[in-house]
Amino acid sequence: MQTPVTIFWFRRDLRLDDNHGLFKALQLGLPVLPVFIFDPSILQSLPKNDRRVAFIHETLNALQQVLVGIGSSLEVVYDAPLVAFQKLCAQYTVQHVIANHDYEPYAQERDKAIKSYLADRGISFETFKDQVIFEKNEIVKDDTTPYTVFTPYSKKWKAAFTKSLTHPFASSALIHNFIKTAAKEIISLSAMNFEKEATVFPAKHVGNELLQTYSEERDFPAKNGTSKLGIHLRFGTISIRQLVAQALATNETFLNELIWREFYQMILWHFPHVVNGAFKPKYNAIKWSDKETHFKAWCEGKTGYPIVDAGMRELVATGYMHNRVRMIVASFLTKHLLIDWKKGADFFALHLLDFDLAANNGGWQWAAGCGCDAAPYFRVFNPYIQTIKFDKEHSYIKKWIPELDDLTYPAPIVIHEEARKKCLEVYAKALQGESL
Ligand SMILES: Cc1cc2nc3c(=O)[nH]c(=O)nc-3n(C[C@H](O)[C@H](O)[C@H](O)COP(=O)(O)OP(=O)(O)OC[C@H]3O[C@@H](n4cnc5c(N)ncnc54)[C@H](O)[C@@H]3O)c2cc1C
């Protein structure tokens, strides 16, 4: 008879320290088998040189080094999650499976299927809150309905917050409870049909000095004024508890951004219809343009609007785009070009290192004016004024558009004033009867 094991399933929490679910698993008293599953149904839609897949792979290798150092090993599986569990259950005597909560609709469905499969075999499947401070129904209005406006949500968030919520889970102190086994090979990127592009990923920490000037510097894309921690929050290579504690000690504006992240996670949880349509369904009636030449110019950074083009080129070249510029390019696509926000959101999803369904969807719907607590649709960003305010010396623009002053740089594909007028007409037509 084999020794029974607990499986800890890593997902958006790729770290050994301060990991809630991992802490629970390591406390149970059985050897813990750490598992990661590369899910072909997610991977198949990604390009061969996807940087996020390389990031995950690199992170798993770093975890593996620590685990092998203590006589254990990760089990990395490349299979549909249900099939992966069928095989794991055939190979081991599994008593419990533990993971952390994942709020995305696809993950919810997947977890439901796994839970039911395991339950049929008498195996428990438990998940824990790890990637946010508050989740689901924890911050709701007094009448128990979810907030749809950020400011009152954030006030309630702060009122409900206590320091104990940032206490770390001592998972790294229990790592001797991982299963003892010979080191196993981690599947290579090429075996999954991916290749590694030379990418330097942002550091896993942010200095207090940067956070102290965050409020003043964060809106200027030429400055190094934001944390660049998006990818680490997305894959859980840092703990939100640790980061919130640091924010509390340094900068409230930074804390507010972390609360925006939880706000959008909460919105996705309560209103999953936002994945495929506008938060305010009336906005689904907007007659979007299908002008492919405009979409292509936007994707390639050739719209003739330097701040937009610089942003799009930065995104494609590095996988990152500054928040101020994300707002400008998203507004430009949806308002100036009248192209469906979903096309823009899909393009971001393909390129952003920090792509996160909830934040991306929230950001796009905010820019298009169709989301919860969105900018009103009649407020159309003027890219020229945004440039004067946030990149006056053109330092950011020139970094990404070296040919700015040459004849090769394209003329604007639409005229700002004309595009603005048309946008207001098209939105107004779709929203007839909507009170502003
Ligand atoms: C159209 C659009 C699309 C976006 N898509 C994403 C996305 O896919 N993934 C993503 O994490 N953020 C997204 N954002 C929000 C924001 O632009 C990024 O979080 C931020 O630019 C990441 O850089 P940073 O880590 O240096 O941020 P910092 O300014 O250092 O902020 C720290 C962290 O707070 C969170 N955060 C900051 N601003 C927001 C915000 N407005 N909404 C939600 N979370 C926030 C992020 O986790 C971020 O890493 C989007 C914004 C817009 C306007």
pLDDT tens track for 28-64:
999 999 999 999 999 999 999 999 999 999 999 999 9
Which of 298, 354, 372, 373 best tests ligand 1's pocket when mutated (most atoms within 8 Å of CB)?
354
Give the tokens for residue 176.
Answer: 């001797």
Same domain? For 411 and 311 the reply is: yes
Q: Is residue 436 part of a domain?
A: no
Based on the residue annotation, tell me whether 360 is a catalytic residue of this protein. no
DSSP 140: B
Nearest to 302 by CA among 401, 177, 379: 401
318 vs 311: CA distance, rounded Å = 10
| Residue identifier of the C-alpha nearest atom 12 of ligand 1 | 359
Summarised one tens digit per residue, pLDDT across range 164-217 is: 999 999 999 999 999 999 999 999 999 999 998 888 899 999 999 999 999 999
99 vs 11: CA distance, rounded Å = 8
Which of 323, 332, 352, 360 best tests ligand 1's pocket when mutated (most atoms within 8 Å of CB)?
323
Residue 436 has pLDDT above 50, yes or no: no
Same domain? For 102 and 88 the reply is: yes
185 vs 163: CA distance, rounded Å = 41
Same domain? For 295 and 247 the reply is: no
Give the tokens for residue 201.
Answer: 């990923």
Summarised one tens digit per residue, pLDDT across range 263-322 is: 999 999 999 999 999 999 999 999 999 999 999 999 999 999 999 999 999 999 999 999
Same domain? For 243 and 261 the reply is: yes
Indicate which CATH number applies to the domain containing 51.
3.40.50.620
52 Cβ below 6 A of ligand 1:
no
19 Cβ below 6 A of ligand 1:
no
Atom of ligand 1 nearest to the CA of 326: 53
Same domain? For 282 and 358 the reply is: yes
Based on the residue annotation, tell me whether 364 is a catalytic residue of this protein. yes
Four-point Cα dihedral 415, 417, 422, 423, nearest 10 = 100
Indicate which CATH number applies to the domain containing 401.
1.10.579.10
Atom of ligand 1 nearest to the CA of 364: 1
Same domain? For 351 and 415 the reply is: yes
Same domain? For 255 and 372 the reply is: no
Secondary structure element (H or E) that encloses residue 341, with its range:
helix 341-351
247 Cβ below 6 A of ligand 1:
no
In which residue are the tokens 């048309």 written?
A: 422
Based on the residue annotation, tell me whether 9 is a catalytic residue of this protein. no
Based on the residue annotation, tell me whether 323 is a catalytic residue of this protein. yes
In which residue are the tokens 């309560």 written?
A: 270
Same domain? For 291 and 416 the reply is: yes
Same domain? For 58 and 14 the reply is: yes
Q: What pLDDT does 164 receive?
A: 97
What is the number of structural domains in the chain? 3
Q: What range does the domain containing 221 cover? A: 131-166+207-270
337 vs 303: CA distance, rounded Å = 10
Half-sphere exposure of 40 (CA within 13 A, CB side): 10
Final residue of a structural domain among 224, 249, 270: 270
